[in-house]
Amino acid sequence: MKVASPLVMLAMLTVSTQILAESAVKADAAKGQQIATQVCAGCHSADGNSVIPTNPILAGQHPEYTTKQLMNFKAQEGKPATRNSPIMGAMVAGLSPDDMKNIGAYYAQQTPKTTGAKDKSAAKLGEKVYRGGNIESNVPACASCHSPNGAGIPPVYPRIAGQHAEYTLAQLRAFRTESRANDANQVMHMIANHMTEKEMQAVSEFISGLR
């Protein structure tokens, strides 16, 4: 079976982006703060600036994206979760859709903190892939969806600037093996599948230094 290239798959997401944008609703960030303090702070810190490299920084993330991820972690009406994580599955088990929207709204208002790339040589290679992709291996530039500064394009494409390199690398690996497959049209699987391990490590390092 012929599979569309990552560049073609990116174009197919336009409709999905419009649908999510139109379905966005107002949320209560104050209520979200209460839930985040009780449920999320242990792993992601009270303001969403996780100090644990394997746990993502949520501060400044687009609210729709955070909400979608929370919903994906939760099994719905007898159907299994579309994003698998025993820990997150337990965390979201008692949350309603409104709770998740409120959490997304709260974290979106928080200011993300970044520490900068640790491996400068790797970050230099990562910058080339992030900004220009790899034409020979059909890898599109990360900046085309996540923007040149890593701010992302809401509501589909998340903010990734300053994200822990360890977390980003783990997600790229998960997308490649399809152990994470909750991305629209499996675009990230297609992209990660074309990347080398060295490229994934380098891009993850570069992203950690973006602001």
CATH of the domain at 143: 1.10.760.10
For residues 126 and 166, state if they share a domain. yes
Please check whether residue 107 is in contact with residue 32, taking contact to mean a CB–CB distance below 8 angstroms.
Answer: yes
| Percent of the chain residues topping a pLDDT of 70 | 88
For residues 85 and 168, state if they share a domain. no
- C-alpha torsion angle, residues 66, 70, 71, 76 (rounded to 10): 180
CA nearest to 97, candidates 25, 42, 160: 25
Between 38 and 11, the more confident residue is 38
Between 17 and 50, the more confident residue is 50
For the cut 50, the answer to whether the pLDDT of residue 1 exceeds it is: no
CA nearest to 188, candidates 202, 205, 172, 204: 172
> Is 196 within a domain?
yes
- The DSSP code for 136 is G
pTM (2 decimals)? 0.88
Cα separation, 130 vs 146, in Å, equals 9
Query: What are the tokens at 102?
Result: 């409120």
Show the domain range for 46.
Answer: 26-108
Q: Which of 2-11, 47-56, 164-173, 180-189 has the lowest mean pLDDT?
A: 2-11
Between 114 and 8, the more confident residue is 114
Domain tally for the chain? 2
**Which residue type, as a one-letter code, is found at position 120?**
K
- Domain end point (choices 86, 108, 130): 108
Cα separation, 85 vs 210, in Å, equals 27
For residues 200 and 123, state if they share a domain. yes
In the prediction, which pLDDT does 17 show?
Answer: 47
Rounded to a whole number of angstroms, the distance between the first and last alpha carbons of the chain is 40
Q: Which of 9-18, 54-63, 78-87, 108-117 has the lowest mean pLDDT?
A: 9-18
> Is 18 within a domain?
no
| Percent of the chain residues topping a pLDDT of 90 | 82
